[in-house]
Protein backbone atom coordinates (compact mmCIF):
# COMPACT_ATOMS: atom_id res chain seq x y z
CA UNK A 1 0.00 0.00 0.00
CA UNK A 2 2.91 2.35 -0.23
CA UNK A 3 2.50 3.66 -3.78
CA UNK A 4 -0.46 5.97 -4.31
CA UNK A 5 -2.40 4.81 -7.35
CA UNK A 6 -3.53 8.39 -8.03
CA UNK A 7 -0.13 9.10 -9.59
CA UNK A 8 -0.84 6.51 -12.26
CA UNK A 9 -3.89 8.19 -13.88
CA UNK A 10 -6.24 5.64 -12.37
CA UNK A 11 -9.87 5.39 -13.36
CA UNK A 12 -12.60 6.30 -10.88
CA UNK A 13 -13.18 2.64 -10.05
CA UNK A 14 -9.47 1.97 -9.54
CA UNK A 15 -9.12 4.98 -7.28
CA UNK A 16 -12.12 3.89 -5.20
CA UNK A 17 -10.69 0.37 -4.95
CA UNK A 18 -7.35 1.77 -3.82
CA UNK A 19 -9.09 3.92 -1.20
CA UNK A 20 -10.97 0.87 0.09
CA UNK A 21 -7.76 -1.16 0.32
CA UNK A 22 -5.65 1.49 2.03
CA UNK A 23 -8.51 2.37 4.40
CA UNK A 24 -8.83 -1.28 5.39
CA UNK A 25 -5.09 -1.50 6.02
CA UNK A 26 -5.21 1.63 8.17
CA UNK A 27 -8.14 0.35 10.22
CA UNK A 28 -6.40 -2.96 10.69
CA UNK A 29 -3.12 -1.45 11.86
CA UNK A 30 -5.01 0.87 14.24
CA UNK A 31 -6.42 -2.21 15.96
CA UNK A 32 -2.91 -3.66 16.19
CA UNK A 33 -1.55 -0.41 17.59
CA UNK A 34 -4.23 -0.49 20.31
CA UNK A 35 -2.49 -3.53 21.76
CA UNK A 36 1.06 -2.79 20.58
CA UNK A 37 1.45 1.00 20.94
CA UNK A 38 5.26 0.84 20.99
CA UNK A 39 5.64 -1.02 17.68
CA UNK A 40 7.57 1.42 15.51
CA UNK A 41 7.05 -0.62 12.33
CA UNK A 42 3.28 -0.52 12.76
CA UNK A 43 3.33 3.19 13.52
CA UNK A 44 5.45 3.85 10.42
CA UNK A 45 3.05 1.73 8.34
CA UNK A 46 0.11 3.73 9.71
CA UNK A 47 1.73 7.09 8.99
CA UNK A 48 2.79 6.15 5.46
CA UNK A 49 -0.59 4.72 4.51
CA UNK A 50 -2.52 7.49 6.17
CA UNK A 51 -0.62 10.03 4.08
CA UNK A 52 -1.26 7.96 0.93
CA UNK A 53 -4.98 7.75 1.77
CA UNK A 54 -5.19 11.51 2.30
CA UNK A 55 -3.47 12.08 -1.03
CA UNK A 56 -5.85 9.69 -2.79
CA UNK A 57 -8.89 11.30 -1.13
CA UNK A 58 -7.73 14.73 -2.29
CA UNK A 59 -7.16 13.41 -5.82
CA UNK A 60 -10.60 11.79 -5.88
CA UNK A 61 -12.19 15.01 -4.64
CA UNK A 62 -10.38 17.00 -7.30
CA UNK A 63 -11.51 14.67 -10.10
CA UNK A 64 -14.94 13.43 -9.01
CA UNK A 65 -16.08 15.30 -5.90
CA UNK A 66 -15.48 14.69 -2.20
CA UNK A 67 -15.97 11.33 -0.53
CA UNK A 68 -15.59 12.73 2.97
CA UNK A 69 -16.41 16.05 4.58
CA UNK A 70 -12.67 16.57 5.07
CA UNK A 71 -12.16 16.81 1.32
CA UNK A 72 -15.21 18.97 0.53
CA UNK A 73 -12.93 21.99 0.15
CA UNK A 74 -10.58 20.11 -2.21
CA UNK A 75 -12.94 20.45 -5.16
CA UNK A 76 -12.47 23.13 -7.76
CA UNK A 77 -16.03 24.37 -7.37
CA UNK A 78 -17.17 26.64 -4.58
CA UNK A 79 -20.74 25.37 -4.82
CA UNK A 80 -22.49 22.14 -3.91
CA UNK A 81 -22.42 20.90 -7.53
CA UNK A 82 -20.72 17.67 -6.44
CA UNK A 83 -24.03 16.48 -4.95
CA UNK A 84 -25.40 16.22 -8.50
CA UNK A 85 -22.74 13.65 -9.44
CA UNK A 86 -23.37 9.91 -9.14
CA UNK A 87 -22.62 8.49 -5.71
CA UNK A 88 -19.49 6.28 -5.59
CA UNK A 89 -21.56 3.09 -5.55
CA UNK A 90 -23.54 4.11 -8.65
pTM of the model: 0.74
* Cα R_g (the chain), whole angstroms: 15
Report H helices in 1-90: 12-35, 40-64
Rounded CA gap, 61 and 84, in Å? 14
* 8-state DSSP, 89: T
Query: Is the sign of the CA dihedral 7, 19, 21, 14 positive or negative?
Result: negative
Q: What is the pLDDT along the chain (90 residues), one digit of tens a residue?
A: 445 555 567 888 999 999 999 999 999 999 999 999 999 999 999 999 999 999 999 998 888 888 887 776 655 555 556 666 677 677
Task: Supply the pLDDT for residue 1.
Answer: 44
- Asked whether 45 and 29 are in contact (CB, 8 A), the reply is yes
Q: Cβ neighbours of residue 68 under 8 Å, at least 6 residues apart?
A: 57
Amino acid sequence: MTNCICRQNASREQLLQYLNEVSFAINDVILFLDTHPDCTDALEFFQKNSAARNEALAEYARLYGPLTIDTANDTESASWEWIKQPFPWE
